[in-house]
Amino acid sequence: GAVVSQHPSWVICKSGTSVKIECRSLDFQATTMFWYRQFPKQSLMLMATSNEGSKATYEQGVEKDKFLINHASLTLSTLTVTSAHPEDSSFYICSARDSRTTEDEQFFGPGTRLTVL
């Protein structure tokens, strides 16, 4: 149980275009999901907390208009990188928290590698 998927696993796009990444909890409901960014050889940095049915909470320094988050259902959150630029190239990882438990554990997706040309 507690499986999180991401789609696509990798994407290459041209500068100026927008890219949408999906994060799904496959066998549990997640009122809260998280989006992280991982630069090469670096750690995961939390970008935002996605809350089902309400606005996402962004970490300091993360542009809300650049990284649009939608958590429209209990099993799906999407991250849209708008007007992507080469500096947005990174590994984006989502995680989800099982709504049925009170534990603080998060379950991580496999990540999406974004390359902006």
Partner 1 sequence: AQSVSQHNHHVILSEAASLELGCNYSYGGTVNLFWYVQYPGQHLQLLLKYFSGDPLVKGIKGFEAEFIKSKFSFNLRKPSVQWSDTAEYFCAVNAAGTYKYIFGTGTRLKVLA
CB of 83 to partner 1, least distance (A): 27
Among 93, 98, 114, 116, binds partner 1 (CB under 8 A): 93
* 101 counts as binding partner 1 under rule CB under 8 A: no
Q: What are phi and psi of 29, to 5 degrees?
A: -95, 140
**Alpha carbon separation from 97 to 69, 70, 77, 83 (Å, rounded):** 16, 16, 12, 29
Q: Could you give the 3-state DSSP secondary structure of residue 111?
A: coil
* 69 counts as binding partner 1 under rule CB under 8 A: no
CB of 17 to partner 1, least distance (A): 26
Q: Give CA–CA dist 39/74, Å, rounded.
A: 28
What residue ranges bind partner 1 (CB under 8 A)? 32, 34, 41-46, 49, 93, 95, 97, 103-106, 108-111
